Amino acid sequence: MAGQAAVPSSRHKPHEDIQALLTGTLFVALGVVMFRHTGLITGGTAGLAFLLHYATGWNFSLVFFAINLPFYGLAFQRMGWVFTLKTFAAVALLALFVQWVPQGITFGALSTGFAAVTGGLLMGAGMLMLFRHRASLGGFNVLVLYLQERFGWRAGHVQMAFDCAIVLAATAVVDWTQILWSVLGAVVLNMTLAINHRPGRYMAV
């Protein structure tokens, strides 16, 4: 109709999704590397991978990739094939970036407190990018996004509950001071999600 402004589509274009997957997983990888360098733990399947890495010395990236395999069935059933493919790509990219980032940057001095806060912010911002482009890092992220879409529960709050449980379980392999710093990192990460990713705000698909 003449004089009526066109309504822009909210759907992301393929190149926008690719940019978000690359940038989001790189941000998360930077946070993971900072956590690993200072002996911190995080939540979700990454937290489980950290636990196994610290306890056995197994490669973090391989463990993280393997732990997420069982969750793709739920992702496909609940969220569709596009979400599942993006999530698989994000998990694979994160596993690769965690291996690659230390080749491009090393830390001469990195305080535990700085790593907890900055690493938490980086991981939260990276996950936010993925969420806004209908992707996740698998595992609990799949369940968290499903619960938000199905029941309206805030992704950050639900993720925080899971993450705190993982961090508490880490007391068997990580010193209690590292646990306290890890809790701070988990709070920073999930408050970033809770504030910026909730029903009624930016939810472009």
SS (H, E, C) 43-89: CHHHHHHHHHHHHHCCCHHHHHHHHHHHHHHHHHHHHCHHHHHHHHH
User: pTM value?
Assistant: 0.81
Q: What is the mean pLDDT of residues 109-115?
A: 94
**Residue at token pair 């230390």:** 102
Report the chain's mean pLDDT, rounded to a whole number.
Answer: 83
pLDDT of residue 126: 94
pLDDT over 90, % of the chain = 32
Rounded alpha-carbon distances, angstroms, from residue 13 to 27, 85, 89, 126, 128: 21, 15, 16, 19, 18
Tell me if 40 sits within 8 A of 185, measured CB to CB. yes
- Residue 108 is encoded by which pair of tokens? 């001469």
The pLDDT tens digits of the residues spanning 158-183 come to 877 877 778 778 887 888 899 899 88
Q: What is the mean pLDDT of residues 46-54?
A: 87
Tell me if 186 sits within 8 A of 163, measured CB to CB. yes
The pLDDT tens digits of the residues spanning 147-162 come to 887 788 887 788 778 7
More confident residue, 164 or 98: 98
pLDDT of residue 34: 95
